[in-house]
């Protein structure tokens, strides 16, 4: 169940990311690309973990989710202007602080990324603890 829920989250995040860039035509910034680098492989890693059910998949998925989570936290802090724009890797071209959507006044694309990575990472931690408990 944890692996399937993580896979659904990763697949939804990946499809959402592709929708925003390819259909809505929002150009991804550098930090968005870094987050994609860590989200897109999770779709395949978690899918492989489902067939056959591999409870060790957390060893491969958790590092991707953790690094993506850190990048998304940094990106959110940048958009909230807690971190100055000069500390962003997006000094030229598409700004990392740009806000393309703002649903309910706080839900932005980096926030959606943060939620997805947080869900996946949390589920992988639960899976690892559950597996260690069963030993």
Domain 2-134 has CATH 1.20.1550: yes
Question: H helices of the chain, where?
Answer: 2-18, 30-50, 58-79, 109-134
* pLDDT above 70 for 135: no
The per-residue pLDDT for 54 is 82
Average pLDDT over residues 114-130: 95
Q: Is 97 left (phi over 0), alpha (psi -120 to 50) or beta?
A: alpha
Q: Looking at the predicted structure, is the pLDDT value of residue 81 above 80?
A: yes
How much is the average pLDDT of 29-33?
A: 91
Q: What 3-state class would DSSP assign to 84?
A: coil
Which band of pLDDT confidence, cut at 50, 70 and 90, is reported for residue 91? low
Where is pLDDT greater, at 42 or 1? 42
Domain boundaries, the chain: 2-134
- Is it the case that residue 77 has pLDDT exceeding 90? yes
Supply the pTM of this predicted model: 0.89
């Amino acid at each position: 169940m944890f692996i399937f829920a993580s896979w659904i989250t990763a697949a939804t995040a990946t499809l959402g990311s592709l929708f925003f860039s390819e259909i809505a035509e929002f150009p991804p910034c550098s930090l968005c690309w870094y987050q994609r680098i860590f989200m897109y492989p999770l779709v395949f890693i978690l899918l492989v973990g489902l067939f056959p059910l591999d409870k060790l998949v957390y060893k491969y998925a958790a590092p991707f989710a953790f690094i993506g989570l850190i990048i998304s936290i940094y990106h959110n802090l940048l958009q909230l202007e807690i971190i100055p724009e000069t500390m962003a890797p997006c000094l030229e071209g598409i700004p990392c602080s740009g806000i393309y959507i703002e649903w309910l006044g706080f839900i932005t694309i980096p926030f959606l990324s943060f939620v997805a990575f947080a869900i996946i990472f949390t589920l992988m931690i639960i899976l690892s603890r559950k597996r260690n408990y069963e030993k």
